[in-house]
Amino acid sequence: MTDLRSKEIHDEIDGDTLHEECGVFGILGHPDAAALTALGLHALQHRGQEAAGIVTFDGKQFCTEKRMGLVGDHYTDPATLAKLPGFMSIGHTRYSTTGEVALRNVQPLFAELHEGGIAIAHNGNFTNGLTLRRQIISDGAICQSTSDTEVVLHLIARSKHASTTDRFADAIAQVEGGYSMLALTRTKLIAARDPHGIRPLVMGELDGKPIFCSETCALDIIGAKFVRDVENGEIIICEIQADGSISIDARKPVAPQPERLCLFEYVYFARPDSVVGGRNVYVARKNMGQNLAKEAPVEADVVVPVPDGGTPAAIGYAQQSGIPFELGIIRNHYVGRTFIEPTQQIRAFGVKLKHSANRAMIEGKRVVLVDDSIVRGTTSVKIVQMIRDAGAREVHVRVASPMIFHPDFYGIDTPDRDKLLANQHADLASMCRFIGADSLEFLSIDGLYEAVGGIKRDPKSPQFTDHYFTGDYPTRLLDQEGASNVRKLSVLASNG
Amino acid sequence: MTDLRSKEIHDEIDGDTLHEECGVFGILGHPDAAALTALGLHALQHRGQEAAGIVTFDGKQFCTEKRMGLVGDHYTDPATLAKLPGFMSIGHTRYSTTGEVALRNVQPLFAELHEGGIAIAHNGNFTNGLTLRRQIISDGAICQSTSDTEVVLHLIARSKHASTTDRFADAIAQVEGGYSMLALTRTKLIAARDPHGIRPLVMGELDGKPIFCSETCALDIIGAKFVRDVENGEIIICEIQADGSISIDARKPVAPQPERLCLFEYVYFARPDSVVGGRNVYVARKNMGQNLAKEAPVEADVVVPVPDGGTPAAIGYAQQSGIPFELGIIRNHYVGRTFIEPTQQIRAFGVKLKHSANRAMIEGKRVVLVDDSIVRGTTSVKIVQMIRDAGAREVHVRVASPMIFHPDFYGIDTPDRDKLLANQHADLASMCRFIGADSLEFLSIDGLYEAVGGIKRDPKSPQFTDHYFTGDYPTRLLDQEGASNVRKLSVLASNG
Amino acid sequence: MTDLRSKEIHDEIDGDTLHEECGVFGILGHPDAAALTALGLHALQHRGQEAAGIVTFDGKQFCTEKRMGLVGDHYTDPATLAKLPGFMSIGHTRYSTTGEVALRNVQPLFAELHEGGIAIAHNGNFTNGLTLRRQIISDGAICQSTSDTEVVLHLIARSKHASTTDRFADAIAQVEGGYSMLALTRTKLIAARDPHGIRPLVMGELDGKPIFCSETCALDIIGAKFVRDVENGEIIICEIQADGSISIDARKPVAPQPERLCLFEYVYFARPDSVVGGRNVYVARKNMGQNLAKEAPVEADVVVPVPDGGTPAAIGYAQQSGIPFELGIIRNHYVGRTFIEPTQQIRAFGVKLKHSANRAMIEGKRVVLVDDSIVRGTTSVKIVQMIRDAGAREVHVRVASPMIFHPDFYGIDTPDRDKLLANQHADLASMCRFIGADSLEFLSIDGLYEAVGGIKRDPKSPQFTDHYFTGDYPTRLLDQEGASNVRKLSVLASNG
Amino acid sequence: MTDLRSKEIHDEIDGDTLHEECGVFGILGHPDAAALTALGLHALQHRGQEAAGIVTFDGKQFCTEKRMGLVGDHYTDPATLAKLPGFMSIGHTRYSTTGEVALRNVQPLFAELHEGGIAIAHNGNFTNGLTLRRQIISDGAICQSTSDTEVVLHLIARSKHASTTDRFADAIAQVEGGYSMLALTRTKLIAARDPHGIRPLVMGELDGKPIFCSETCALDIIGAKFVRDVENGEIIICEIQADGSISIDARKPVAPQPERLCLFEYVYFARPDSVVGGRNVYVARKNMGQNLAKEAPVEADVVVPVPDGGTPAAIGYAQQSGIPFELGIIRNHYVGRTFIEPTQQIRAFGVKLKHSANRAMIEGKRVVLVDDSIVRGTTSVKIVQMIRDAGAREVHVRVASPMIFHPDFYGIDTPDRDKLLANQHADLASMCRFIGADSLEFLSIDGLYEAVGGIKRDPKSPQFTDHYFTGDYPTRLLDQEGASNVRKLSVLASNG
């Protein structure tokens, strides 16, 4: 079984990228509900490779399968799908931020309520999750996991409202943060998105049946049509009627807020072929590269992406600058879940397990190295060194997003503040020396806003969530403010 | 993974015996807490082979390991024990009655309460468990499993009392049924036994540290001393003090009831070397055989036990009757967890996978076949046939317990009432014809009482729990009375 | 995977018993060939629990499955049996003596020969195996395992004869030692037994189809009839004819020798219900106990077997002496493959993981403890101590076989000569002190001969193989004589 | 366990690409021999993902580990490396062509010879392997696998020469075909390459210790220096001397032939950053794309690669044509070993499990789709359809290699001749209609020769192996000529 140690090691090998918690998928009224959910989760696998879970309701009981590992390892064989009968299903693929690595914490979570069972899957994080948990426990409830999802289940169960929908809306109104959430009851599929729309959630349709999922790429794989984004602060309730038809109802239980999608979805998380907030991600990334070429040009022989994240921006940089785009770094595609707990001997090879320099494209050349972002900078150091070892004459690092100064509390796994490269150095020159490049430039925040949304940042009312760059958090951070008190909970360490 | 289907098949091969839910073990204040718990559970393995779990508290956090399979398969290697640090531990080995076969339902269960974490393991069943669950859910709690243990956790969490001990006592006062229960908090090990003492629970001591376990054989394996039985209706609270000493306190939160230990512990469940309620189990079983020989003598050449359950009674029968005891049936010890989902072809061999006739002791002989009990009778049919095929001249079946007419609701897994042999036939002669024996006799209820307790059954106040034979249930059966309403809960089928 | 270390530990827990290499089973012409072979191997599981293999021929190709672990764990599910189609099959269950613990060495072995494929499974050991291997290799052959079976394959392949049968006979004529062997070709099932008949092999019949197996218990489980023993030095060739009928032919390629079955088959290895050499094993063991009671009587209160090996002899001792037979030691049946690589902490519990004293039958009593044999004596020490700890007044150890002085070279895994109890002490009194008993007696060699064969040992021509007691080896020991030269082979350590 | 069925399904999902058998790596005299071999094999993982094996010699015995799955899954943890001690090691990573999918066939193979043990790993295929096997078997040897490697071991064992080196050279002289081979003895690491140099093999050096491996990328990952190619027909013998120094000796046992490296190494197999035959593979592929743009230009809006194989050629096509290179197809990197035995429902999604259209780059556009090669064409059909579904105005397929007409017998797994697209259609127009493109063009054979070697094909003495395109096999095909007779061997089907 994977444990925390291997996660650390994976980070070491995998570079110092950020990780998002999850992807979600749900469908109502389709005979192939579980299989379609498995395919949708496979398309969302980039949002979390640690574990996946699917819950269906077959008219009599809720059925669930949860497994560590990739969707395709477990959910596509007849034996597993046979255990997930029914016309309605939600699923979840997970990378762990809150809570330990354990099957116990794998979503969706299920609870028996007075009015019947309910299963919930969510992507994101509550900024008042610990505060709520403390209240719930002091009121006499028991918590069996450390996940936000369990908090939502408790809030639903404790609501004074009669209907499940009202209870769900009541629960949603109490949580703060960034999230996309799906719930499955005996007759309903419910979708909800946080008031700022920080995390993405889209609605689709297949054979007339409603689908919700984190990104449009999960619609494309099964040939479903994109209908619309779930709006920020919106709850959409789909219900199977007695005649088999499906009613769709929407509501906004809390006061509307301006939408502010997370910029890191565009910079790194979302799949390039997805359309997030109406914008193709690949195009946004190419724009970042083009703007970067305008803001930070350099005389060079080749534009080389740090694969795979930096590739679209590198193509944009190359097209804008006229410098040829070349695969100067080759990625080993067989890293995956491999290298669990390697010896120190093996770990020392670090980035070379995943990347290797393509000497013929590097030797004697002036190289523009394009990456999507820099977090701790430790991987950049190794990659720049690798490029130099391959004989580069000059190495100019260009980063297609601004410097990261602040942690995230909306579902992105960020290192401690003082581990961030931008906080470890007084200025750009010092950073450049640290990573060993001849020059280093980051895309400006306005350059990023223009690449994604077409216009500069509005400082009074920013169009996107961008606190990691700017410190401007879209919500209050209740748990953080009282952190010292709240965290005093016994934590159950499980390896099950 | 084991699933429900394989359980059915196992029943088919394993004969139509009854199965008990669980064994429990706990220790406080010992540096080898987890290893001793693993050894204790190994000695209690006969009470449940499906799964086992151990929880420890290491001064900072609760640690848990839960695994499908035998204790010795998982809990004795250094890697697993290293994940279970600390001086206090409770453990559980389980055969499933209530709740499906799934890691999620493996005990001990843990919950975060206002005053800190608590883990609970129990053997037995609540007769008002579903009723309580319905109340709890309608009050706004969420239930994530189908186990009675979760009900207890909720009752503790919802109690108005301040201390954990008072909360635990408050919870215990609300449940009805037969149970032995262990709880572990940050400083306490708590043991509780139901008001009738239906399920066994004993207290022991090792190096001055308190131990609780289902049977004395778990004390013997680690060289611990037997202290006393936990009394019916008693709660014993052991707490580590600031100076490292351990305080022990006992209380009885509900009105005292006469003790009525489950007779089936003597007939079948407990290990022969255990002392249950002050009586050695092997001696009790030999007495059953001796009384059976007195009540139902027969002229014969050999006394043959149906191994291993019938062996002590057969020895008693042979000693009383003077007919030689012989191993006329040889048991294959390699059945264990094997034969998961065999082909129909293999299943047809049924009982022969486990037992074979020792022809030299059977051929031409008049055989007294001694078994501990008959449930459905389907295995008896096959064994009698096997003995006849081996050339027996006569086959006289003697059963060392009375006929079973009624289901159990205190932790024994009984088949539906109409599947019981005694309910399928008008009289003994019909049963005898069904199983194909030359004669068939059961021990009388008084013969059983005398074998175990030395005196006949007192019909006004029976000394033991014996409803499966007599229909005299020691408690009301609240869930059963309102069964049709109560059972309408969504059940979550999990294969995780 | 199991490795050598866990084997050592298993020995430690499992007591210092001897282990035999294997059991074999083969059937020709039956539509359920593989399933019947799996059942037969399950009945022979006591002859080897480490691994099992089955080979079938389906008319076109040979199919094989080999697995570590018990037969019932792997060979009874539809998926595995579906991979073993065909009407002819041989199988093998193994405990490792020669060769390491590895799937590579699991039998049957298969080879492509000029006249078609051949698979071979065998129980026993060649006393000239290393000598032959050295010759074969020096002639330019390659050896890919360290098993005797590979040697036979080479001898068959190199034979100058034309027919497979003649080649097989030619090979058999070159090997020395003790063995039972089965071979499967495209049309034939061939059985062979060594010239002295040291290892057992019987012929049976089901639905008119021939079966060969190590013991009759493998016939009983599938309802097959016993036909006869394969004679010492005999080869039996069964062949499917063009019309579907089966021809059976027998020959004896080497000069006849007097039959000398291994006495340890009667003392310990064979299942009690098996008929070996025409004698029921359980009866033979009871006779040993009776003779022991005559030779070494003692005044006592109970006769207690060391389970399970000592049970039949203890019944005999009790019947002869009139002292009651009681289960004074209870065996934990859940040891099996468990306790792989336990901590030292756990290992210290040694014999208690498997056996526990039944105090009620021991306390204050004079105990006769009956065991089948004593090898190193280390387990006897612990068991006697356990009986004393349970309060025995006196402990008299009676062993139902003579003292063991000499190693075996015919397929029994014996410890080094100087580890044997009998070689570590000057006399019986010293041994008795070592194991801590009040008295210690072994059955005499004549007492054993009479128990098994009805008459005393004929020193000029002993009726059985008994070198472990007497030093009288039935064959020369070629490999041993030149041991220092022969063993200089590179050994391949595999963990695959 | 993986079986043949899942292989077929994998082919279905994985597109109709060709597969190569293996990669090899060996090192002599280095303290980290096994770890370096594991890293080298990881870099060669693209040459075979089914299984991997490593053999070391630790001065006393040969140690081996063989595992199904990826190198990084098994060979980098301390426990596995601890089982592979020693200063000399060879390893192998495998995709199965000859022989079934089974651990038994995983290389390296080991044999005990007269002069000591030897382990052999090889990449490639013998064109006289079955013929040799028939001779060897008829001479009285036994064959236990269906691999060519076993044939080599037999030839070495049977050689009349005295030294291992001479025996190895003698064996090499008898085999025909295309191969790179490594052998490990107690003191030597030996490398051999076929007389035409069809399969690649390079020599490197780390800390003064010799290394041999299939491609230079395995040198790069461990920071080793490239020394030179092993020449066609050359055997290089490295031996540790008594003083710890290493002697290196080379010889050519057979008459020299012109070198003819396999063109498919350049077209598809080798990693882009490898240098094969002195030529960087990425540059060769870009040249193929540039030549394709010259030979088959088209007016279009975007150049889209079929990832990842078509990417370098697409970059070349784009640079040459001036049409922008865009990621119009996004590859799901999480396919790996996933989707084992999916339901038909899931299989129907076929290529979409791996690839998805990036609509923003496709819709309304004239698309040039660049792929490295077309084998059966079935995947091309699906990809063209996917591009059309995403709204492409025109789809022009450009293939960076010639049409494939002929099967390979040198280690490439080709489908049956009549399954090849080029053999199923009368002309290019018919193929184009079949795959549904607006136009279809293949690179000419001369265009390919120029891309790789700088000059046109010399029809009298072609510079490369190119029979799949031209039918001009570099060697005779002995097994094929007598195929009907030779194949009549029993094949052992193993799933172990």
Higher pLDDT, C254 or D132: D132
Q: Is the pLDDT of residue D450 over 90?
A: yes
Residue numbers of C between 416 and 455 with CB closer than 8 Å to B: none
pLDDT score, position B141: 86
Mean pLDDT of C186-213: 97
Q: Is the pLDDT of residue A181 over 60?
A: yes
The two structure tokens encoding residue A44:
């969302």
The reply to whether residue A66 touches residue B496, judged by beta carbons under 8 angstroms, is yes
The two structure tokens encoding residue C295:
């030779």
The residues that bridge with A330 in the sheet, in sequence order, are: A356
Q: Is the pLDDT of residue C10 over 50?
A: no
pLDDT score, position D19: 63
Closest CA of chain A from D340, distance in Å: 7
Which chains share 3+ C-beta pairs under 8 angstroms with B? A, C
Q: How many CB atoms lie within 10 A of CB D79?
A: 10
D5 close to D341: Cβ distance less than 8 angstroms: yes
Residue pLDDT, tens place only, D482-492: 654 434 444 45
**Identity of the residue in C271, C315, C353 whose CB atom sits nearest the CB atom of B326:** C315
Closest CA of chain C from B190, distance in Å: 26
Higher pLDDT, D284 or A107: D284
Whole-number Å distance between alpha carbons of D35 and A347:
11
The reply to whether residue D112 touches residue C66, judged by beta carbons under 8 angstroms, is no
The two structure tokens encoding residue D196:
């035409």
Residue numbers of B between 85 and 104 with CB closer than 8 Å to A: 103-104
Among D54, D89, D112, most C C-beta atoms within 10 A, so best to mutate, is D112
In degrees and rounded to multiples of 5, residue D238 shows phi and psi of: -110, 135
Segments in A275-420 forming alpha helices (H): 281-295, 311-321, 344-347, 359-362, 378-389
* CB-based contact, A491 to chain B, within 8 Å: yes
D334 to chain A: closest CA residue: A45
pLDDT score, position D496: 35
C491 close to C146: Cβ distance less than 8 angstroms: yes
pLDDT score, position D352: 80
Q: Is the pLDDT of residue B185 over 70?
A: yes
Write out chain D in H/E/C secondary structure: CCCHHHHHHHHHHHCCCCEECEEEEEEECCCCHHHHHHHHHHHCHHHCCCEEEEEEECCCCEEEEEEECCHHHHCCCHHHHHCCCCCEEEEEEECCCCCCCCHHHCCCEEEEECCEEEEEEEEEEECCHHHHHHHHHHCCCCECCCCHHHHHHHHHHHCCCCCHHHHHHHHHHHCCEEEEEEEECCCEEEEEECCCCCCCCEEEEECCEEEEECCCHHHHHCCCEEEEECCCCCEEEEEECCCCCEEEEEECCCCCCCCCEEHHHHHHHCCCCCEECCEEHHHHHHHHHHHHHHHCCCCCCEEEECCCCCHHHHHHHHHHHCCCECCCEEECCCCCCCCCCCCHHHHCCHHHHCEEECHHHCCCCEEEEEECCCCCCHHHHHHHHHHHHCCCCEEEEEECCCCCCCCCCCCEECCCHHHCHHHHCCCHHHHHHHHCCCEEEECCHHHHHHHHHCCCCCCCCCCEECHHHHCCCCCCCHHHHCHHHHCCCCCEEECC
pLDDT score, position D145: 73
Hey, what amino acid is at D242?
A
Q: Is the pLDDT of residue C336 over 70?
A: no
**Identity of the residue in A103, A112, A157 whose CB atom sits nearest the CB atom of B496:** A103
Among A276, A317, A332, A365, most D C-beta atoms within 10 A, so best to mutate, is A332
A412 by DSSP, 3-state: which? strand
Q: Is the pLDDT of residue C166 over 90?
A: yes
Closest CA of chain B from C341, distance in Å: 6
Higher pLDDT, C309 or D94: C309
* Chain C CB contacts of D56 below 8 Å: none
pLDDT score, position D343: 61
Share of chain B above pLDDT 70, in %: 88
Which residue's entry shows tokens 């697409």? D314
For residue C487, count CB atoms less than 10 angstroms from its CB and return exposed for 0-12, middle for 13-18, buried for 19 or more.
exposed
Whole-number Å distance between alpha carbons of D443 and D423:
17
Which chains share 3+ C-beta pairs under 8 angstroms with C? B, D
The two structure tokens encoding residue A453:
């949304």
Q: Which CATH number fits domain C15-259: 3.40.190.10, 3.40.50.20, 3.40.50.10490, 3.60.20.10?
A: 3.60.20.10
* DSSP letter assigned to residue C267: I
The two structure tokens encoding residue B409:
């609701």
CATH class entry, domain B280-332+344-470? alpha beta
The reply to whether residue A64 touches residue B144, judged by beta carbons under 8 angstroms, is no
B278 to chain C: closest CA residue: C360
Hey, what amino acid is at A494?
S
Residue pLDDT, tens place only, A359-393: 999 999 999 999 999 999 999 999 999 999 999 99
D125 close to D178: Cβ distance less than 8 angstroms: yes
Residue pLDDT, tens place only, C81-121: 888 999 999 999 987 543 334 555 678 988 888 778 999 99
Residue pLDDT, tens place only, A440-476: 999 999 999 999 999 999 999 999 999 999 999 999 9
Cβ within 8 Å of residue D197, ≥6 positions away: D229, D231, D232, D233, D259, D260, D261, D277
DSSP B50-68: SEEEEEEE-SS-EEEEEEE
Mean pLDDT of D465-471: 97
The whole-model pTM stands at: 0.83
Which chains share 3+ C-beta pairs under 8 angstroms with D? A, C
A295 by DSSP, 3-state: which? helix
B157 close to B113: Cβ distance less than 8 angstroms: yes
Distance between start and end Cα atoms, chain D: 8
* Chain A CB contacts of D334 below 8 Å: 42, 45-46, 49, 70-72, 336
Cβ within 8 Å of residue B221, ≥6 positions away: B39, B40, B42, B43, C349, C352, C353, C356
* Chain C CB contacts of B312 below 8 Å: 327
Q: Is the pLDDT of residue B242 over 60?
A: yes
Q: What is the mean pLDDT of chain B?
A: 88
Higher pLDDT, C447 or C350: C447
* CB-based contact, C144 to chain D, within 8 Å: yes
Q: Is the pLDDT of residue D85 over 70?
A: yes
pLDDT score, position C16: 65
Closest CA of chain D from A358, distance in Å: 4
Among C58, C104, C142, most D C-beta atoms within 10 A, so best to mutate, is C142
* Chain C CB contacts of D59 below 8 Å: none
Whole-number Å distance between alpha carbons of C46 and C272:
11
Instruction: Name the band, by pLDDT with cuts 50, 70 and 90, for residue A329.
Output: very high
pLDDT score, position C344: 63
Q: ipTM of this model?
A: 0.91
Whole-number Å distance between alpha carbons of A53 and A105:
10
B170 by DSSP, 3-state: which? helix
Which sequence spans correspond to the domains of chain D? Answer: 15-259, 280-332+344-470
Hey, what amino acid is at A148?
D
Q: What is the mean pLDDT of chain D?
A: 88
Name the nearest CA neighbour of B454 among B272, B195, B266, B297: B266
D138 to chain C: closest CA residue: C114
* CB-based contact, B485 to chain A, within 8 Å: no
Residue pLDDT, tens place only, A22-35: 999 999 999 999 99
The reply to whether residue C39 touches residue B325, judged by beta carbons under 8 angstroms, is no
Chains C and A touch (3+ CB pairs under 8 A): no
Q: Is the pLDDT of residue C31 over 70?
A: yes
* Chain A CB contacts of B112 below 8 Å: 137, 142-144, 489-490, 492
Q: How many CB atoms lie within 10 A of CB C192?
A: 27
Q: Is the pLDDT of residue C268 over 60?
A: yes
Chains D and A touch (3+ CB pairs under 8 A): yes
CA triple C107-C109-C114, angle to 5 deg: 165
Among A2, A132, A142, A185, most B C-beta atoms within 10 A, so best to mutate, is A142
Q: Is the pLDDT of residue B460 over 90?
A: yes
Residue C447 parent element (H or E):
helix C445-453
Q: How many CB atoms lie within 10 A of CB A140?
A: 19
CA distances from D453 to D193, D272, D283, D458 (A): 21, 16, 11, 11
**Identity of the residue in C43, C76, C217 whose CB atom sits nearest the CB atom of B346:** C76
* CB-based contact, D283 to chain A, within 8 Å: yes
Q: How far is CA D377 from the centre of its chain?
A: 20
Among B5, B32, B45, B273, most C C-beta atoms within 10 A, so best to mutate, is B273
Q: Is the pLDDT of residue B373 over 90?
A: yes
Closest CA of chain A from B247, distance in Å: 23
D280 to chain A: closest CA residue: A360
| B-C contacts (CB, under 8 Å) | 179
**Identity of the residue in C334, C356, C359 whose CB atom sits nearest the CB atom of B221:** C356
Cβ within 8 Å of residue A190, ≥6 positions away: A165, A168, A182, A183, A184, A235, A236, A237, A238
The reply to whether residue B311 touches residue C334, judged by beta carbons under 8 angstroms, is no
Whole-number Å distance between alpha carbons of D6 and D16:
15
The reply to whether residue B137 touches residue A112, judged by beta carbons under 8 angstroms, is yes
C-alpha Rg value of chain A to the nearest Å:
23
The two structure tokens encoding residue D71:
């190198």
B492 close to A112: Cβ distance less than 8 angstroms: yes
Give the catalytic positions of B in this structure. Answer: 22
The reply to whether residue A142 touches residue B157, judged by beta carbons under 8 angstroms, is yes
Instruction: Name the band, by pLDDT with cuts 50, 70 and 90, for residue B97.
Output: very low
Residue pLDDT, tens place only, D165-222: 999 999 999 999 999 999 999 999 999 999 999 999 999 999 999 999 999 999 999 9
Residue pLDDT, tens place only, A233-267: 999 999 999 999 999 999 998 887 999 999 999 99
Name the nearest CA neighbour of C327 among B264, B222, B319: B319
Hey, what amino acid is at D183?
A
Give the lowest-confidence range in A164-168, B135-139, B226-230, D84-88: B135-139
| A-D contacts (CB, under 8 Å) | 179
The answer to whether residue A432 is catalytic is: no
DSSP B361-397: GTTT-EEEEEES--SSSHHHHHHHHHHHHTT-SEEEE
The two structure tokens encoding residue B428:
């003994």
Q: Is the pLDDT of residue B329 over 80?
A: yes
Give the catalytic positions of D in this structure. Answer: 22
* CB-based contact, A82 to chain D, within 8 Å: no
For residue D477, count CB atoms less than 10 angstroms from its CB and return exposed for 0-12, middle for 13-18, buried for 19 or more.
middle
Q: How many CB atoms lie within 10 A of CB A241?
A: 9
Residue numbers of D between 103 and 132 with CB closer than 8 Å to C: 103-104, 109-114, 116-117
B110 to chain A: closest CA residue: A144
Residue pLDDT, tens place only, A208-226: 999 999 999 999 999 999 9
pLDDT score, position C45: 92
Name the nearest CA neighbour of D45 among D82, D15, D19, D14: D19
* Chain A CB contacts of D332 below 8 Å: 42-43, 45
pLDDT score, position B494: 45
**Identity of the residue in B221, B319, B326 whose CB atom sits nearest the CB atom of C349:** B221
Q: Half-sphere exposure (CA, 13 Å, Cβ side) for B102?
A: 21
* CB-based contact, D381 to chain A, within 8 Å: no
Region of A454 (left: φ > 0; alpha: ψ -120 to 50; beta: rest) is left
